[in-house]
Structure 1
């Protein structure tokens, strides 16, 4: 495995990487909100259900990332 790839994998599991993931996931919520508003205006139930499922996936993803961030914080306390 190359040094750059190893560094990238380490970043993903770092606090900074987790914050970046939270930000990009939250940014995806904007798209889902727009999708839901459009579906409501068009009275499109299927698109509304799709938006609801996407929103649930975003909430779940944010919860997982929050848990990871909390775990990283706990590890820092143990190391210090």
Structure 2
């Protein structure tokens, strides 16, 4: 059981795991865009602020994951 747990933990830092994480983050864009359209339609400034913060969070997450992929590529290239 311990071996499978370690393998699952390692998946997140693998290239495939990072791509899956990026895809999951990008699915959050769909909901954020829908909420943004609704907030703009209602003219709700607080909801627009919430959408903006969510969008920045998604962008930051994707940027961090892309950086991890680049670092992983550098590590693999050095071997």
Q: TM-score, normalised by structure 2?
A: 0.96
Task: Name the counterpart of 1:5.
Answer: 5
Instruction: Quote the RMSD (CA, aligned, Å).
Output: 1.0
Corresponding position of 1:61: 61
Find the counterpart in structure 1 of residue 49 from structure 2. Answer: 49
Count of aligned positions: 79
Q: Does 1:39 align with 2:35?
A: no
Stretches of structure 2 that go unaligned for 5 or more consecutive residues are none
Residue 18 of structure 1: aligned partner: 18
Over 6 Å off, 4+ runs: none
Q: Distance in 2 between matches of 1:49 and 1:12?
A: 31
Long gaps (5+) in structure 1? none
Distance 1:66 1:45 in 2: 32
Q: TM-score, normalised by structure 1?
A: 0.95
